[in-house]
Amino acid sequence: MLHTAEKISWDELLDEYFFSRMPLPSTECSYRRMTQVFIRFIGEMVLPENVTHRDVLRWRRHLLREKKQSSHTWNNKVTCLRAIFNFGMKRKLLPYTQNPFDNTVVKDGLVKKEQKTGMCKNQPLHLPGTNLNSSYIELRVEGSQNCTISSSGTFTLIDIRIND
């Protein structure tokens, strides 16, 4: 049994959590994997009791901005680690008064993945049907199952903004 005076390792914290919770093997595997991703980010020498809220915010910025992960993916990771830390705090395995993973969830829509069109920025300007005066490009889609076509067979694909 672990006591509060001992410094608990990541493996010990996870083992205590899983012994107590008895999750499905797939859940345990997923939680271990997410924890390993966090450990690789902050460094293997950082113990659970030394994680700060700022560490978590740095990790969030890294995953969302540099790795281009979705807010949904981030929220899954933070939910997992927050649960482990809540358990550690409740069992007095961790010395925190506030979980460093609290208040780190990202609302959907705040992080958008960049959409790729397969075109350079100025290529749509040279397509047939481009009307810069009316700020639209008229295109016809043939054989695509991914688009909704209006009754006239055309739709507005790009809203062009011309800044003076």
**What is the greatest pairwise CA distance in the chain?**
74
Closest-CA residue to 51 (of 1, 22, 13): 13
Q: Select from 1.10.150, 3.30.70, 3.40.50, 1.10.3470 the CATH code of 10-91.
A: 1.10.150
> pTM of the entire structure?
0.64
- 50-93 pLDDT, tens digit per residue, is 999 999 999 999 999 999 999 999 999 999 999 999 999 999 99
> 118-153, pLDDT tens digit by residue?
666 667 666 676 766 766 666 555 554 554 544 555
**Hey, where are the domains in the chain?**
10-91
Q: What share of the chain is helix, strand, coil (3-state, %, to 5)?
A: 45, 5, 50
pLDDT band, residue 1 (cuts 50/70/90): very low
